[in-house]
Amino acid sequence: MRRFTSLLAVAIVVCLLSLPQFALARQPKKYQVTGTVLEVTKDYIAVDKAGDRWEIGRGADTKVTGKLEVGAKVTVEYQMSASSVDVKSDGKDGDKGKKP
């Protein structure tokens, strides 16, 4: 009986320790872009990276260290997130009932 109680206690402890790992949602990867600031607004930062213009959104919670101004060299860390998803039909369902 003691052995069963010990095994049950160990199983409960293992389950309780693993719960926080399941509760955390997977976060998207973080990326960086380094270049010269072309434009700064309250909503986004435009950066020139090797001739390409990168516009990266920002909010009130965006952490900025140093003086952010046009012409400054910066490294911006960002994450991608979907603003909308439009699922397209593959055409297989719409062909039911049609004769060739």
- Asked whether residue 43 is assigned to any structural domain, the reply reads yes
**Structure pTM?**
0.60
Q: What is the mean pLDDT of residues 29-43?
A: 95
What is the C-alpha separation between 90 and 15, in angstroms, rounded?
Answer: 42
Q: What is the CATH number of the domain that holds 62?
A: 2.30.30
57's enclosing H/E stretch is strand 52-57
Contact residues for 77 (Cβ-Cβ < 8 A; gap 6+): 30, 31, 32
**DSSP SS3 for 9:** helix
Q: What is the pLDDT of residue 90?
A: 83
Q: What is the pLDDT of residue 15?
A: 65
Tokens of 63: 């952490």
Q: How many DSSP H helices and E strands does the chain contain?
A: 1, 4
Residues 65-95: pLDDT tens digits? 999 999 999 999 999 989 999 999 887 765 5
> Which range of residues forms the domain containing residue 58?
30-79
- Asked whether residue 62 is assigned to any structural domain, the reply reads yes
- Asked whether residue 46 is assigned to any structural domain, the reply reads yes
